[in-house]
């Protein structure tokens, strides 16, 4: 019997006397037997299939490295990245539109079209406000937006262009720029009625034209006088306008209104009180027909509004820089064009107010603008207003005044707010006005040329405008100024 057999027997037959060594040997033999017995079923189980080594693939595919991991830079479309990195890639506005540029956060292309967003219910009004410091690229963005929209059948109107920078674009796209200024042959009558839209009856049209003329004359007089008109002054304007319409047999001109204010009919003013009450208004309006502002708006229009043109712009660059006068002239030019645009069947149109703060620098002009702004949606118009800072509007009227409330509501009506670089002192008020987050606010002073923070109906995007070489050449305002210097 060999050692092994002895041990085996020892497991089942316990001899009466065993030495310590024998007992240990028996226990070990028993343990070995039990281990072998319990291991038996495991050996019959199928081994799990191993596809990869337990420690992963050896080599670079293991993504383990004793030195820092370097992955080559990769760019791709937002469609790809939104799957690869769902937490990083933004989905944009998920709406068609013209290409603007790149989303600086995600690298995705950014497109925008206010009419598409409006139709989809993403915004309730297609108006746009752009604000930024001098030279930030605000006008370039406005130009890119409307120029690229032309291919989609939209038309473009620039009711007042104090720097004349839209003229070159109007001419390049087959449109027209009307140049106004002392010594220029063109004259516009801001009291022109415009074309009656087919959907408006004759009576409605007469009432609309009358209301528009009264509001314009009132706004011009208030702005020149620097105060609110009294009820008698409003009556004086009303009576003079009626008489001027009768005298002209249809379209009155400003000199006729001034004349009637200074010399009303006996029948209209039997006790000569109206002439007394209307005298300040007459002198305020007289500035438009005599003196420094004469010629441009004091006779029948020498140009016709051509609705078939893709673009029409009012070039006021020849008007001498005189802040108050320029605001008034811009208002007259805008009024003439807005009248022509008051047609719900006129299609989708951009109306661009560059240097818009001038048009709203006075409460009366702001009120007129607000009315126009509200009508725009009904006419299929998207207004685009360019400011330097959003607090431009805060300078109109006193805190808590009606004018300030109008300014605030005007901003509230623009659901697309594009903020370009801001001065540090403007960051706080801008953030408060737009409800920016801390991260968005922190970006404002550091935005580069052509970069803006777009707030559209609750969403925010950091977009860098990309310009084609041809666009760059057309939009280059720096070259224009350096050439003049
Ligand atoms: N995205 C851009 N890429 C390259 N150049 C740009 C871009 N945006 C603007 N520019 C250039 O910067 C210059 C200033 O732009 P722009 O005239 O639009 O500024 P602005 O904000 O309207 O200035 P201002 O307040 O004086 O009206 C222009 O020559 C324009 O061509
Ligand atoms: Mg500009």
Q: Which atom of ligand 1 is nearest to the CA of 354?
A: 27
Q: Which atom of ligand 1 is nearest to the CA of 478?
A: 29
Q: What is the pLDDT of residue 121?
A: 86
Residue 466 confidence (pLDDT): 93
Which are the contacts of 484, defined by CB distance < 8 A and separation ≥ 6?
A: none
Pocket test for ligand 1, best of 100, 133, 139, 164 (most atoms within 8 A of CB): 139
Ligand 1 atom showing the smallest separation from residue 101 Cα: 1
Query: Which atom of ligand 1 sits closest to the CA of residue 134?
Result: 25
Nearest CA residue ID for atom 23, ligand 1: 135
Domain spans of the chain?
3-35, 91-173+315-485, 189-300
Distance 354 CA to ligand 2 centre (A): 7
**∠ CA(213), CA(219), CA(223), 5° rounding?**
150
Distance CA(203)–CA(201), nearest Å, equals 6
Task: For residues 71 and 61, give the distance between their C-alpha atoms in angstroms, rounded to a whole number.
Answer: 12
Give the DSSP H/E element, type plus range, for residue 156. Answer: strand 155-161
Q: Give the separation between CA 118 and CA 416, rounded to whole angstroms.
A: 11
CB atoms within 10 A of CB 478: 9
| pLDDT of res. 199 | 82
Residue 142 confidence (pLDDT): 95
Our answer on whether the CB atom of 476 is closer than 6 Å to any ligand 1 atom is yes
Residue 11 is predicted with a pLDDT of 42
Strand partners, 103: 463
Tell me, in angstroms, the distance from the centre of ligand 1 to residue 467's CA: 11
Residues 6 or more apart whose Cβ sits within 8 Å of residue 29: 7, 8, 10, 11
Given this model, what pLDDT does residue 86 score?
A: 53
Return the pLDDT at 46.
Answer: 58
Report pTM.
Answer: 0.76
Determine the distance separating the centroid of ligand 1 and the alpha carbon of 199, expressed in angstroms: 41
Is residue 391 within 8 A of residue 426, CB to CB? The reply is yes
CA–CA gap between residue 112 and residue 146 (Å, rounded): 11
At 312, phi and psi to the nearest 5? -135, 130
Q: Which helix (H) or strand (E) holds 276?
A: helix 273-289
What's the rounded Cα separation, in Å, for the pair 150 and 78? 26
Q: Are 114 and 123 in contact (CB under 8 A)?
A: yes
The domain defined by 91-173+315-485 carries CATH number 3.30.70.260:
no
Is the minimum distance from the CB of 136 to ligand 1 under 6 angstroms? yes
Cα 200 to its chain centre, rounded Å, is 31
Q: How far is the CA of 251 from the centre of ligand 2 (A)?
A: 35
Ligand 1 neighbour 101 (Cβ under 6 A): no
Is 190 in contact with 332 (CB distance < 8 Å)? Answer: yes
Instruction: Give which of 197, 175, 189 is closest to 350, Cα–Cα.
Output: 175
Give dist(CA 297, CA 90) in Å, integer.
50
Mutate to test the pocket of ligand 1, among 99, 102, 135, 353 (most ligand atoms within 8 A of CB): 135
Query: pLDDT tens string for the chain (485 positions)?
Result: 555 555 444 444 455 677 888 888 888 887 887 766 555 444 455 566 777 777 777 777 776 777 776 778 888 887 777 776 555 555 677 778 899 999 888 888 899 999 999 888 888 888 899 988 888 999 999 999 999 999 999 999 998 888 889 999 999 999 999 988 877 888 888 898 888 888 888 999 899 899 989 989 998 898 888 888 999 999 999 999 999 998 887 789 999 999 999 988 878 777 778 888 889 999 988 888 887 677 788 888 888 888 889 999 989 888 866 666 777 888 888 888 888 888 778 889 999 988 887 777 777 778 777 877 777 778 888 999 998 887 777 666 676 777 777 777 777 778 899 999 988 888 888 888 777 888 888 888 888 899 999 999 878 899 999 999 999 999 988 765 554 43
Q: What is the pLDDT of residue 42?
A: 47
478 Cβ inside 6 Å of ligand 1: yes
CB-based contact 419:434 (threshold 8 Å)? yes
Query: In sequence order, what are the residues at sequence separation of 6 or more whose Cβ sits closer than 8 angstroms to the Cβ of residue 389?
Result: 131, 133, 422, 423, 426, 429, 430
């Amino acid at each position: 019997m060999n050692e092994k057999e002895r041990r085996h027997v020892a497991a089942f037959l316990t001899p009466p006397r065993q030495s310590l060594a024998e007992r240990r040997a028996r226990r070990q033999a028993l343990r070995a037997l039990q281990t072998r017995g319990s291991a038996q079923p495991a050996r019959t189980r199928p081994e799990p299939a191993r596809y990869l080594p337990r420690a992963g693939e050896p080599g670079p595919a293991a993504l383990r490295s004793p030195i820092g991991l370097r992955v080559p830079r990769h760019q791709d479309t937002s469609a790809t990245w939104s799957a690869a990195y769902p937490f990083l890639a933004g989905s944009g506005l998920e709406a068609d539109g013209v290409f603007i540029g790149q989303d600086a956060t995600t690298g995705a292309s950014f497109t925008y079209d206010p009419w598409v967003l409006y139709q989809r219910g993403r915004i309730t009004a297609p108006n746009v406000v752009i604000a930024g410091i001098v030279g930030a690229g605000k006008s370039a963005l406005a130009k890119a937006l409307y120029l690229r929209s032309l291919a989609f059948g939209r038309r473009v109107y620039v009711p007042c262009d104090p720097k004349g920078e839209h003229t070159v674009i109007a001419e390049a796209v087959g449109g027209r720029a009307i140049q106004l200024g002392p010594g220029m042959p063109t004259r516009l009558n801001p009291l022109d009625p415009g074309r009656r839209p087919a959907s408006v009856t004759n009576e409605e049209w007469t009432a609309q034209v009358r209301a528009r003329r009264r509001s314009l004359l009132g706004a011009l007089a208030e702005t020149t006088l620097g105060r609110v008109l009294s009820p008698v002054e409003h009556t004086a304007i009303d009576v003079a306008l009626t008489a001027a319409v009768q005298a002209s047999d249809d379209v009155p001109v400003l000199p006729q209104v001034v004349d009637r204010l200074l010399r009303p009919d006996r029948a209209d003013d039997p006790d000569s009180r109206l002439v007394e009450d209307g005298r300040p208004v007459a002198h305020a309006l007289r500035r438009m027909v005599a003196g420094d502002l004469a010629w441009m708006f004091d006779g029948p229009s020498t140009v016709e509004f051509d609705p078939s043109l893709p673009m029409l712009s009012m070039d006021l660059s020849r008007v001498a820089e005189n802040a108050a006068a320029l605001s008034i002239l811009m208002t007259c030019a805008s009024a003439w064009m807005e009248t022509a645009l008051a047609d719900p069947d006129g299609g989708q149109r951009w109306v661009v107010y560059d240097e818009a703060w001038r048009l709203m620098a006075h409460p009366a002009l702001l009120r007129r603008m607000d009315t126009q702004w509200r009508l725009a949606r009904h006419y299929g118009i998207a207004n685009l207003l360019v400011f330097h800072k959003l607090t431009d509007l805060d300078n109109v009227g006193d805190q808590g005044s009606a004018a300030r409330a109008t300014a605030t509501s005007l901003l509230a009506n623009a659901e697309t707010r594009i903020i370009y670089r801001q001065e540090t002192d403007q960051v706080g008020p801008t953030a408060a006005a737009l409800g920016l987050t801390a991260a968005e606010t922190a970006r404002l002073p550091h935005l580069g040329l052509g970069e803006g923070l777009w707030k559209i109906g609750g969403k925010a995007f950091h977009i860098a405008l990309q310009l084609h070489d041809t666009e760059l050449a057309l939009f280059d305002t720096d070259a224009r100024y350096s050439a003049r210097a």
